[in-house]
Amino acid sequence: MQSDSIIDKIKKLEKHVLALEGTPTTRKMIQGKIQAYCENFIQNLKEGIAFNAIHEDACGFYDYPICENGYSLDEVLDLFDRSVDKPGLNAASGRHLAYVPGGGVPTAASGDYLAAITNKYAGVFFAGPGAVRIENQMIQFCANAIGYTGNYGGNLASGGSVANLIAIAAGRDAHKIKGANYHKTVIYGSKHMHHCVDKSIRITGLKECIYRDIPLDDKFRMDVGILSKQIKTDLSVGLAPFMVIASAGTTNCGVIDPVNEIANVCEKFKLWLHVDAAYGGLFCLLEEEKAKFKGIERADSIVVDPHKALFLPYGLGVALVKNVEHLLKSQFYEADYMQDAIENRNEISPAELSPELTKHFRGLRMWLPLQIHGVAPFKSAMREKLLLTKYYCDELRKINNIRIVNEPELSIFAYRYEDPSKSKKENNSINKRLVEEIHRDGKVFLSSTTIEGEVCLRIAILSFRTHLFEIDLAINEIKTKLEAMTINS
């Protein structure tokens, strides 16, 4: 029998631990204050700035080190407001028109709350059959959108970076690429391929392979003719072409590579076709846009990001592989202590198709909004963004010396100020300064890029909170900043 002193100590510790659970009253108080903060945040998005270039307040955390007894919730929320929400880019704002915004549909936060409170394990079917089926249903939703049928498989990853990593590893293992063969194995991509794909190549060990940067055509798409010739040349000298990486919505210009023609080449030479459609892929939900993605369903692997075109919070990318067996061979492992889970497998589990064993139940942040709202308002938001992009492009044409660098295919395109009386270097300086002035003001947030040595501005219209008001504001910012720069030059 345990001594009374041990029991007393246990009971005393138990009382202290119960603070982590809280009481109905304390939980209600905490949730009430956090909900009020979030509501105030959303209400102020319309009028608030998109970018705050002053970062000093972000150092406030140093005044609040982790301590034994914590701080009051009011203090913590005030610190969060000053040091997290105020400095830098306001990614939830409809005025965020750079990189590839998403938005953060509020019902997705409710999904995350449910996932965190119930703490349901979504990694293995045996432990969470409902959770696994929700995740698999969301994979099916994305697969159906891009046209996959049959024995496909996929995984809900943390974003496009990890999703690309999973897909490229599946291709490597399906083609039995070994380290001894890297020196003669060839991967083909393009200059506008997203840098996270190159990172995935490195992490999977394929950086030691030969990489061919296939030139772009005059519309910034991978040149299929050059691709085909390069593969033939590589074969003729004893090399082993392996994978072609295409983009369906580049980050630079929003351009869609000619996927169907690339698929023909890959089929002819028996290469793995991977399509990074993180940004553009879910536009396939719109029937009228599907023709732009012709052939995407022929890819061996595809990545789409619901935290982009489905306007969900950061942290949700989907790796899709046409043949689930390739994904299983790449990721499936067994362990003795998991024998109960293996014997009770009714459905393929996420842990069998990705590097993650312990994982967040991230499918709930996608499933709940789709269950509550249906697909229709998401499609309307996509259509609105496409029309806003056309409108923005048309309005830019009315501004003196603005050149549209590429015609928009989706909701991203590049443009630049170009005074014909000035050199490329001088015009580059003007465009750099224009972006800096826009950032300094912070009313809207636009980004720049360099294309063929030319500094360009780019816009990415994808936040569900971006409407006509925000686009008119961006146009006005371009006009007023250029006028002020002209007067002061």
Residue 285 has pLDDT above 50, yes or no: yes
When pLDDT is averaged across residues 397-414 and rounded to a whole number, the result is: 97
Q: What pLDDT, on a 0 to 100 scale, did the predictor assign at position 346? A: 59
Q: What pLDDT, on a 0 to 100 scale, did the predictor assign at position 338? A: 46
When pLDDT is averaged across residues 294-302 and rounded to a whole number, the result is: 98
Q: What pLDDT, on a 0 to 100 scale, did the predictor assign at position 371? A: 98
pLDDT band at 58 (very low <50, low <70, confident <90, very high): confident
Residue-wise pLDDT for 64-80, tens only, equals 999 999 999 999 999 99
Whole-number average pLDDT of the chain? 93
Residue-wise pLDDT for 423-475, tens only, equals 999 999 999 999 999 999 999 999 999 999 999 999 999 999 999 999 999 99
DSSP one-letter code for 123: S
| CA-CA-CA-CA torsion sign (327, 329, 335, 339) | positive
Residue 59 has pLDDT above 60, yes or no: yes
Query: Who wins on pLDDT, 127 or 237?
Result: 237
Residue 341 has pLDDT above 80, yes or no: no
Residue with tokens 């304390």: 26
Residue 345 has pLDDT above 80, yes or no: no
Residue-wise pLDDT for 203-223, tens only, equals 999 999 999 999 999 999 999
Q: Do residues 193 and 245 make contact, with C-beta atoms less than 8 angstroms apart?
A: yes
Q: What pLDDT, on a 0 to 100 scale, did the predictor assign at position 1? A: 52
When pLDDT is averaged across residues 14-21 and rounded to a whole number, the result is: 93
Q: What percent of the chain has pLDDT over 70?
A: 96
Residue 251 has pLDDT above 70, yes or no: yes
70 backbone φψ class: left, alpha, beta (φ>0; ψ -120 to 50)? left
When pLDDT is averaged across residues 232-251 and rounded to a whole number, the result is: 97
When pLDDT is averaged across residues 32-55 and rounded to a whole number, the result is: 92
Sorted by sequence, the CB contacts under 8 Å of residue 387 that are 6+ apart come out as: none
Checking DSSP bridges between strand 210-214 and strand 185-190, what pairing results, if any?
A: parallel
Q: Which two tokens stand for residue 33?
A: 């204050």
When pLDDT is averaged across residues 470-484 and rounded to a whole number, the result is: 96
Residue-wise pLDDT for 80-139, tens only, equals 999 999 999 999 999 999 999 877 899 999 999 999 999 999 999 888 999 999 999 999
Q: What pLDDT, on a 0 to 100 scale, did the predictor assign at position 342? A: 45
Q: How far is residue 453's CA from residue 475's CA, in Å, rounded to a whole number?
A: 25
- Say which amino acid occupies 218: D
H helical segments located in 237-363: 259-269, 306-309, 324-331, 339-343
Q: Which domains, and CATH codes, for the chain?
A: 112-373 (3.40.640.10), 376-488 (3.90.1150.170)
Name the burial class of residue 423, with classes exposed (0-12), middle (13-18) and buried (19+) by CB atoms within 10 angstroms of its CB.
Answer: exposed
pLDDT band at 3 (very low <50, low <70, confident <90, very high): low
Predicted structure pTM score: 0.93
